[in-house]
Amino acid sequence: MARKRIDVLSDTHGRLSREVLDAIDGCDLIVHAGDITSEDDFITLGAIAPLRLCLGNNDWAGEYGADVTRKVRFEYEGLQFCVTHYQQNLTGERFDVGVFGHTHVPETRTLNSGALMINPGSPTFPRSQAGPTMGRLVVEGGRVVSSEIIRLAPDEDRGWGRSFFAGW
């Protein structure tokens, strides 16, 4: 089995930077944990790689097709994924990889069950000292080989970056 790279996004809020687009180039799958808020970005991401997306609190049902709901479950490379905008919606679910967003704060952790939980933060409106971020998973043979949070450069041209949500 070949290794596959999954790039994980959340809370892009209709603003995909050139750095994000460059960073996800070449991935095998994009998982987005909601608040994409842009049909154009939905199309752009789907043209780069297969896209699995859930709805966030700023997205509307039906905007991105019937398969995009508040909670999205799927199997990829032998792993069960559950993707939802709110972490609490993963409670009680069975999965190998749980993806969530909403807080704009990146984190990864492994549960007692061995399942991986990842919040990629936000590349657009970060709310942590990490600044703009996204996630990356490498999977092979039904297991997660590596998981990381990737720090992106602040988008100084738009005035968003490390300090945009300072104090949140």
* pLDDT at residue 155, rounded to an integer: 65
DSSP classification of residue 102: S
31, β-bridge pairs: 8, 52
Residue entry with tokens 């809370």: 11
State pLDDT tens for residues 44-89. 999 999 999 999 999 998 889 999 999 999 999 999 999 999 999 9
Residue entry with tokens 């996204």: 134
Is the overall model pTM greater than 0.75, yes or no?
A: yes
Residue entry with tokens 């990146």: 106
Instruction: Tell me which residues of the chain have a pLDDT lower than 50.
Output: 158-168
* pLDDT at residue 162, rounded to an integer: 39
